[in-house]
């Protein structure tokens, strides 16, 4: 009885919003990855889009290598934006209405901008991001991806706690 209560408290403490939204969301992301994989054999990641799209405006060899995939990566990203917009339309604000559908972060712009620059550099040097390494790579039991995920996860945890420790909020 008491252990059951302690267990419940721990679940409450670590999962204040439950787990269903996370698990369902994750499974949908996984299913989308699988659909592309089954149909095309491609293990799609989200960060290659940055470089493949840059090949439209730059002839640098680093970007040019992605020319063959740049068109479908744009379509994939447009789909991601559209799917999230559909989610917002249904679940944010009034259901099935545009009223209050938009959600806006309170994180300060400089954090988003500086963080974004580092994400852009790091994901491309590190051969993948949370979807490429995290979903496809871990799903492939790739040792490189497992090391990559542990690296960015540990560094991100340290960084976020230092930033919070300095009282930077939001």
Partner 1 sequence: MSRHRLFMPLILASGLVFGFGLGFSHMARPEVVIDFLTFRDLGLLFVMFGGSLVAGIAFWTLSKRGTNAPLTGTPHGRRLKSFDRNVLIGGSVFGVGWGLSGICPGAAYASLGVGNWPILYAIGGMFIGAYAQGIWRSQQTGTESAVSTGE
Tell which one of 1, 17, 96, 166 touches partner 1 (CB under 8 A).
17
Tokens 């999962």, located at residue? 15
Which residues are CB-contacts of 129 (< 8 A; sequence separation ≥ 6)? Answer: 45, 46, 47, 119, 123
Compute CA distances 80 → 15, 73, 85, 139, whole Å: 26, 10, 9, 20
DSSP H helices, 92-137, are 109-125
Site membership for partner 1, residue 6 (CB under 8 A): no
Per the listing, tokens 């620059």 go with 117
Among left, alpha and beta (phi > 0; psi -120 to 50; other), residue 41 is left
82 binds partner 1 (CB under 8 A): yes
Q: Does 67 help bind partner 1 (rule: CB under 8 A)?
A: no
Nearer to partner 1 by Cβ, of 1 and 147: the residue is: 147
The least CB distance from residue 1 to partner 1, in Å, is: 25
Residue 3 sits in the site that holds partner 1 (CB under 8 A): no
Does residue 135 interact with partner 1 by CB under 8 A? yes
Indicate which single residue of 2, 128, 166, 167 sits in contact with partner 1 (rule: CB under 8 A): 128
**Using an 8 Å Cβ cutoff, are 144 and 128 in contact?**
no
- Taking CB under 8 A as the rule, does residue 84 contact partner 1? yes
Contact present, 127 and 144 (Cβ < 8 Å): yes
Could you say which of 9, 22, 95, 97 contacts partner 1 (CB under 8 A)?
22
Contact residue for partner 1 among 39, 96, 166, 167 (CB under 8 A): 39
Work out which of 6, 9, 27, 95 binds partner 1, going by CB under 8 A: 27
Q: Is 103 in the site for partner 1 (CB under 8 A)?
A: yes
109 binds partner 1 (CB under 8 A): yes
């Amino acid at each position: 009885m008491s252990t059951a209560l302690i267990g419940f408290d721990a679940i409450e403490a670590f999962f204040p919003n439950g787990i269903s939204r996370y698990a369902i969301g994750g499974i949908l992301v996984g299913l989308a990855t699988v659909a592309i994989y089954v149909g095309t054999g491609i293990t799609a990641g989200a960060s290659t889009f940055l470089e493949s799209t840059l090949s439209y405006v730059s002839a640098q060899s680093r970007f040019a290598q992605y020319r063959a995939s740049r068109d479908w990566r744009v379509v994939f990203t447009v789909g991601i934006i559209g799917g999230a917009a559909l989610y917002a339309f249904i679940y944010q604000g009034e259901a099935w209405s545009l009223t209050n559908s938009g959600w806006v972060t309170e994180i300060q712009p400089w954090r988003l901008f500086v963080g974004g620059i580092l994400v852009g550099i790091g994901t491309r040097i590190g051969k993948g991001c949370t979807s490429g390494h995290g979903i496809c790579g871990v799903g492939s039991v790739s040792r490189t991806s497992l090391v990559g995920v542990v690296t960015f996860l540990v560094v991100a945890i340290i960084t976020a706690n230092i930033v919070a420790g300095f009282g930077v909020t939001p």
